[in-house]
Amino acid sequence: MISKKEVREFKKDPKTGKKVMVFTLDDGQKLTVAELCIKLKCTMACSRARLNKTSDPEKIFSKVRVSNQKRDTVFVAREHLFNPRTWCEDPLVKLMLKK
């Protein structure tokens, strides 16, 4: 394993003109986060986390696991929403406030 100082270096991005961190892998390959993102077809956060965690090419280029969990969006009909103007007209609310 290469030390952290040897793994990271900076170069200027030709498109944006900003400094971009270049990671050196154990086999000598040099990659940026954006290049890895395009190769793996994953998010920038995923590729950045892989490059920060290890410099082993097998672990970095391993298959990306896709989560199948989707959040269920709860749709509430407009007539069932709480109306701040008419809440006191509800008979159950009147009964609750009676005491």
Would you kindly state where each structural domain of the chain is located, as residue ranges?
Answer: 4-60
Q: Which residues of 68-92 are buried (b: 16+ CB within 10 A; e: fewer)?
A: eeeeeeeeeeeeeeeeeeeeeeeee
CA distance 58 to 45: 19
pLDDT at 79 over 90: no
Q: Give the containing element (helix H, strand E) for 29.
A: none
What's the mean pLDDT when you consider all of the chain? 82
pLDDT at 70 over 60: yes
For residue 13, how many other CB atoms are within 10 A of its CB? Answer: 12
pLDDT in tens, 13-61: 777 788 888 898 989 899 899 899 999 999 999 999 999 898 899 999 9
How many residues does this entry show for the chain? 99
For residue 14, how many other CB atoms are within 10 A of its CB? Answer: 7
